[in-house]
Chain A
C-alpha cells in the first residue's frame, strides 16, 4: 500500500522513524525546536523528543555544523538543519575541509556520518536568500549530495542518509514542501545513487532535479499534446552523479535538454553536458540544450524575479529548439 502525502510529511516521517529507531539520532539547528522549524518540518518534535534530542542552536552555522561533524565522529548520528542553503556558505569550511576530508585524510580510520539538511528555493526573498548552491557541494569528493524532487525520495533518501557512513548534503526545496506524492507504507530505504527515468519518450531527453524536475514534467505534458514525446530523468543524486542513465536515454532520443534552477555557468548542467558529449558524442543530433537562471543576483521585485528563474515555458522552448536544430541539419 502507498499513501499520498506531502514532501514535508515524508521528511517528518523519515526523521521520526529514525529518531525512534536510534537514540543516537539527534537534531540540531536554528529554530527547529520551540519555533518548529522555519519550513515547519520539525514542528512538535521538541515536545515529542525533548531538548536533548531536538537542539535549538545559536545562529552560528559554522559552529553548528562543526559540532555535528564532531558528534558524528564521536559516535552520534546528528542531523543538522541549515535554514536555507544560502547560510551553508557560513559552514562551508566545516563541510568541505572537515566533513568531506576526515575519512580520507586520516587513512580511513574514522568517519563523519552527518546529515546536513537544508533548503534551496526563492520567492521574493532577495539576492542573498534565493540561491541554489548544489553544484558547490557536488563538486567535492567525500560528500554525498542528494536533492529529492518527490516525497518518496525525500523519505527514502533521508532515512538512508541517517544510517549511512558518510556526510550527506540533503538539499530540499522551499517550493516543494507542499507537493504531494505516493510514498509506500513501511520501511523505505533508498540507496543514495542513481537517476530515475520518470517519464519515457522517444524524442528528447530532459535531465533535471529538484524543482527543475517538475518544470520538466510540466513541459513534457504540454509537448505531448503537440506529439513531442520527452523522456524525463530526475537526477535525484548529484554526487555521485549517474551519467550512465542520461547517456542510455540520449542513445535512444539523440537529444538532450538540461533544466536547473541555478546559474548555468559551472553548474551541474555543465558537468552533465560535458560528460554526455564525452560518452555519447556520436548519438547527439543537436547541441545540448540548457535551461537555467539568468546570471544575475535575484532581485526582490516579483516581476523581475520571474525574469530570472526558468519556468515551464523556457523548457518547452528549449525542447523545440533542439528539435528544430535537428530538422535544420536533416532537411
Chain B
C-alpha cells in the first residue's frame, strides 16, 4: 500500500475517534438525545473492510454506525447534524444516530433491531446476483446478532443461493452488557459458518492492515461467484454499549488491558517504526481532523431543526393517498337532513 493510502487509513480512524469523542461531549451537553453507541476501539474493522470495497459494493450495517459513514466519506457535518436531530442531517433528523445512510454511496444504512438487517443483506445480494451487477454486499453485525434467527435464516439462504454477501461479524466480546460466553454456544463466531458449509476466517480487528487484507480476500471470494463468506473480526469496545451504560459487567482491569490494543496507536507506532511516516505528519493529520470535527459540531449546532410541516413526508414513496380519513365532522343540519 502506498504511503498516502496508509496515512488515509490512519486519518479515517482518527476522524472516527475524534468525531465520537466530540459526539459524547455533545451528548453530555444535551445536544444529542436518545441512544448514542460509540465505535471507539473498533475503528480498524470498519476502516479496513470499507477500504477493501469497490464503490459499487453495497454496505449495510448495525446501529453502531457513525464509523462506517465516516470511513465511506460522508460529510462529518451531516452525520453530526443527524445526531443533533437537524434538518441538514443525513436523514433530515428522521433516523438519528442509529440510522445513518447514504444510498448514493450504496450505504443502505444502520439498522437498530439486532440481526434485522442481515436478511436485507441477502436480498441486496440476490438483486446483485439476479441483475448481474457484480456488486458484493458487505453486511456488518456484532457477535450478539449471530444468536438471532434472522442471522441463521440469512446465512442459510445466502449459502443455498450462493449470494455475493460478506458476513462481517465484529466480535467485541459483549452483546450490550452480556459476555459472549454466557449467550453463545461457541466462542468463535466463525464456527457458526460451518453449519452452512460457508468458508470463514478470523482476523485481528485491531490491525487495520490485516483487516483490509482479510476483507479483500473475502470480497474476492464473493465476487468470483463462489457464494458468501463469513469473516469474524476480533475487536473490543473501549466505551460502554451506549452513553447510558454504567459498565458494571466488565472490570476496569479488563478494559485497561484491551486499551493496549488501540488500533490507532498500534498503526501509528507501526508506521513510525517502519519509517513510513513521521510524528510531524501524524500531528498534521490530527490537527486537520480536530478542525474538521470542530466544523462538524459547529455545522450541527447552527443548522435548523426539521420543519414541522415536513413531518409526514416519506411515509410512502407514492403520493399520499386520499381517503385516509375525512376532514371534519359533519352535523346533520349542515346538510339539511
Q: Is the CB of A74 within 8 A of B323?
A: no
Across the interface, A97 reaches (CB within 8 A) one of B102, B113, B157, namely: B113
Q: A193 at interface (Cβ–Cβ under 8 A)?
A: yes
CB distance from B249 to the nearest CB of A (A): 26
Q: Is the CB of A72 within 8 A of B329?
A: no
Q: Is the CB of A107 within 8 A of B90?
A: yes
Q: Is the CB of B119 within 8 A of A70?
A: yes
Smallest CB gap from B313: residue in A: A108
Q: Is the CB of A103 within 8 A of B315?
A: yes
Q: A21 at interface (Cβ–Cβ under 8 A)?
A: no
Given A63-B157, A106-B101, also A93-B127 (CB < 8 A): no
Q: Which residues does chain A contribute within 8 Å of B326, judged by CB atoms?
A: 243-244, 247, 275, 279
A164–B319 alpha-carbon span in the complex (Å) = 11
Q: A76 at interface (Cβ–Cβ under 8 A)?
A: yes
Q: Is the CB of B103 within 8 A of A67?
A: no
Given A60-B156, A103-B316, also A52-B119 (CB < 8 A): no
Q: Which residues does chain B contribute within 8 Å of A164, judged by CB atoms?
A: 318
A313–B131 alpha-carbon span in the complex (Å) = 53
Q: B94 at interface (Cβ–Cβ under 8 A)?
A: yes
Q: A73 at interface (Cβ–Cβ under 8 A)?
A: yes
Q: Which residues does chain B contribute within 8 Å of A261, judged by CB atoms?
A: none
Q: Is the CB of B316 within 8 A of A70?
A: no
Q: A297 at interface (Cβ–Cβ under 8 A)?
A: no
Q: A278 at interface (Cβ–Cβ under 8 A)?
A: yes
A63–B151 alpha-carbon span in the complex (Å) = 8
Q: A266 at interface (Cβ–Cβ under 8 A)?
A: no
In B251-288, the 8 Å CB interface with A consists of none
Q: Is the CB of B337 within 8 A of A98?
A: no
Q: A174 at interface (Cβ–Cβ under 8 A)?
A: no
Q: A110 at interface (Cβ–Cβ under 8 A)?
A: yes
A24–B331 alpha-carbon span in the complex (Å) = 50
A52–B132 alpha-carbon span in the complex (Å) = 12
Given A69-B123, A107-B91, also A166-B316 (CB < 8 A): yes
Q: Is the CB of B99 within 8 A of A98?
A: no
A141–B313 alpha-carbon span in the complex (Å) = 12
A interface footprint on B309-336 (CB within 8 Å = 1, 0 otherwise): 0000111111001111110111111010
Q: Is the CB of B123 within 8 A of A108?
A: no
Q: Which residues does chain A contribute within 8 Å of B317, judged by CB atoms?
A: 103, 108, 111, 113, 165-166
Q: B95 at interface (Cβ–Cβ under 8 A)?
A: yes
CB distance from A44 to the nearest CB of B (A): 21
Q: Is the CB of B316 within 8 A of A73?
A: no
Q: Is the CB of A60 within 8 A of B153?
A: yes
Q: Which residues does chain B contribute within 8 Å of A245, judged by CB atoms?
A: 323
Given A108-B317, A166-B316, also A70-B116 (CB < 8 A): no
Q: Is the CB of B332 within 8 A of A104?
A: no
CB distance from A231 to the nearest CB of B (A): 16
Across the interface, B95 reaches (CB within 8 A) one of A106, A192, A247, A283, namely: A106
A157–B60 alpha-carbon span in the complex (Å) = 32
Given A107-B95, A192-B321, A243-B326, also A93-B116 (CB < 8 A): yes
A70–B321 alpha-carbon span in the complex (Å) = 25
CB distance from A305 to the nearest CB of B (A): 31
In B107-144, the 8 Å CB interface with A consists of 108-109, 111, 113, 116-128, 130-131
Smallest CB gap from A144: residue in B: B316
CB distance from B138 to the nearest CB of A (A): 13
A69–B118 alpha-carbon span in the complex (Å) = 11
B interface footprint on A77-110 (CB within 8 Å = 1, 0 otherwise): 0100000000000000110011000111111111
Q: Which residues does chain B contribute within 8 Å of A69, judged by CB atoms?
A: 119-120, 123
Q: A62 at interface (Cβ–Cβ under 8 A)?
A: yes
A68–B130 alpha-carbon span in the complex (Å) = 13
Q: B92 at interface (Cβ–Cβ under 8 A)?
A: yes
Q: A26 at interface (Cβ–Cβ under 8 A)?
A: yes
Q: A57 at interface (Cβ–Cβ under 8 A)?
A: yes
CB distance from B87 to the nearest CB of A (A): 10
A93–B31 alpha-carbon span in the complex (Å) = 31
Q: A36 at interface (Cβ–Cβ under 8 A)?
A: no
Q: Is the CB of A67 within 8 A of B321?
A: no
A79–B253 alpha-carbon span in the complex (Å) = 53
B interface footprint on A31-73 (CB within 8 Å = 1, 0 otherwise): 0000000000000000000001001011010111111111111
Q: A181 at interface (Cβ–Cβ under 8 A)?
A: no
Q: Which residues does chain B contribute within 8 Å of A194, judged by CB atoms?
A: 323
Q: Which residues does chain A contribute within 8 Å of B150, judged by CB atoms?
A: 62-63, 66, 93
Chain A to chain B: the 5 pairs with minimum beta-carbon distance, closest first: A70-B123, A66-B119, A63-B153, A74-B127, A108-B314
Given contacts A98-B111, A244-B323, 18 further A-B contacts (CB under 8 A): A24-B131, A52-B130, A60-B149, A63-B156, A67-B120, A76-B131, A93-B113, A102-B109, A105-B91, A107-B94, A108-B317, A166-B317, A166-B318, A191-B321, A251-B335, A279-B328, A280-B329, A283-B332
Residues of B within 8 A of A (CB): 58, 60, 90-92, 94-95, 99, 101-103, 108-109, 111, 113, 116-128, 130-131, 149-150, 153-154, 156-157, 160-161, 313-318, 321-326, 328-333, 335, 337
